Amino acid sequence: MTPLLELDDVEKHFPVRDALGRSRGAVRAVDGVSLSVPEGGVLAIVGESGCGKSTLGRVALRLIEPDRGAIRFQGEDLRRLSGAALRARRRDMQIIFQDPFASLDPRMTVEDAVAEPLILHGTVPRARIRDRVAEMLVRVGLRPELARRWPHEFSGGQRQRIAIARALASGPKLVIGDEPVSALDVSVQAQVVNLLQDLIRDLGLTFILISHDLGVVRHIADRVAVMYLGRIVEEGPAPEVFANPRHPYTRALLAAVPGQGTAAPPLEGDVPSPISPPPGCRFHTRCPHAAARCSAEVPLLLGAGHRAACHFADTLPPAAPLREADPG
């Protein structure tokens, strides 16, 4: 079956200049990513901040133009579309941003904010727009009477619900959530995660969750892709990746989550600069298993199923079993 979304060797570098305008190289935010997103369910893209996952999400929707590579949505090359054809496709692909305080226009009522994509894409006849907005508000757990209010009258969690209603109003097939709950109070994060989970199931959405929060990812993801310095280093079904992480970086990330982790040594040292990433395996400067080969030869992410880009993925000892959850 054709995947809903396919990325093929996608690259996005951002040129860096000093104060005098001289080139200082480029941030290699996305550096050769291939990824296949099947229809339905949740693919999580995880990694430390700065690993390129937000850029990857924007490139996948062509909100940012990649330098290289192919992006296919239902088999159609998005990079060949422009103007009206691209806008029409955008109806099928929406994004929810991290900060609901920034993503809603303070000069638009809730009704106008949710109606805007409906008008843009001509999703429903004008006479039906109000009803459709009310329906979307109910779906995200807000009373339809609130439609005439302004964003500043709502809490962070409510604003994110409005942003979700807006993203889903035009009936997209693919939705990307870029850290959709990490700006919210911890007390409301679970509610919004549960809402997203219900909507993904009820509407049959394909959802790409960009997150550094492995607790949330473990809760809702069907597949996981782990990014490090612009590349995917491990990818596979979520239960397998969590139970048997194959890449030393994934093991270290999991070890850092209280009550979630395997007993790998925690990550040490800083992430190297994405302007001049280490040669060979980009993780070799922090990897407890690094050998001479690792700084010379780039490990590839090959095969299907549960894959890891590590020269020794098949010979590393299995990750230690899960620790008991910390009762605190």
Give me the least distance between CB of 252 and ligand SF4, in Å please. 10
What's the rounded Cα separation, in Å, for the pair 271 and 31? 16
Contacting range for Mg ion; rule: CB under 5 A; set: 37-45, 51-59, 196-204, 314-322: 51-59
CB closer to ligand SF4 out of 110 and 233: 233
CA-wise closest residue to 13 among 44, 62, 45, 56 = 56
The entry of ligand SF4, Mg ion, none that residue 289 binds, CB within 5 to 8 Å by partner kind: ligand SF4
Nearer to Mg ion, 54 or 262 (CB): 54
Q: Does 94 bind Mg ion (CB under 5 A)?
A: no
Total Cβ atoms within 10 A of residue 221:
25
Answer for the pair 63, 50: CB distance below 8 angstroms, yes or no: no
Distance CA 28, CA 47 (A): 15
In the complex, minimum distance from the CB of residue 116 to ligand SF4, in angstroms, rounded to a whole number: 45
Instruction: Find the binder of Mg ion among 13, 54, 214, 312 (CB under 5 A).
Output: 54
Nearer CB in complex with ligand SF4: 140/294: 294
- 203 is in the binding site of which of ligand SF4, Mg ion, none (Cβ under 5 to 8 A by kind)? none
Size of the site for Mg ion (CB under 5 A): 1
Return the number of the residue (223 or 247) whose C-beta is nearest ligand SF4.
247
Is 260 a binding residue for Mg ion by CB under 5 A? The answer is no
Residue 12 interacting entry, from ligand SF4, Mg ion, none, C-beta within 5 to 8 Å by type:
none
Residue 321 burial class via C-beta count within 10 angstroms: exposed 0-12, middle 13-18, buried 19 and up:
exposed
* Distance between start and end Cα atoms, the chain: 46
Q: Maximum Cα–Cα distance for the chain, whole Å?
A: 68
Residue whose C-beta lies closest to Mg ion: 54
Spatial contact of 189 and 181, defined as CB atoms under 8 Å apart: yes
* Shortest reach from residue 291's CB to ligand SF4, in Å: 6
Residue pair 19/184 in contact (Cβ under 8 Å)? The answer is: no
Closer to ligand SF4 at the Cβ: 142 or 313? 313
- Shortest CB 29 distance to ligand SF4, Å: 20
Residues 230, 52: contact at Cβ < 8 Å? yes
54 binding partner (options Mg ion, ligand SF4, none; Cβ < 5 to 8 Å by kind) = Mg ion
User: CB of residue 203 vs ligand SF4: minimum separation in angstroms?
Assistant: 38
β-partners of residue 224 are 44, 236
CB of 118 to ligand SF4, least distance (A): 47
305, 307, 312, 318: CA torsion to nearest 10: -60
Q: Which two tokens stand for residue 298?
A: 């780039």
Distance CA 52, CA 282 (A): 14
Q: Report the nearest approach of ligand SF4 to the CB of residue 170 (Å).
A: 42
Residues in the chain: 328
Contacts with ligand SF4, residue ranges (CB under 6 A) = 247-248, 281, 283-284, 287, 289-290, 294, 299, 310-312
Nearest to 274 by CA among 48, 123, 7: 48
Toward ligand SF4, which CB reaches closer, 28 or 286? Answer: 286
Smaller CB distance to ligand SF4: residue 155 or 295?
295
Angle, helix 110-121 to helix 83-90, in steps of 10 degrees: 130
**Contact residues: Mg ion, CB under 5 A:** 54
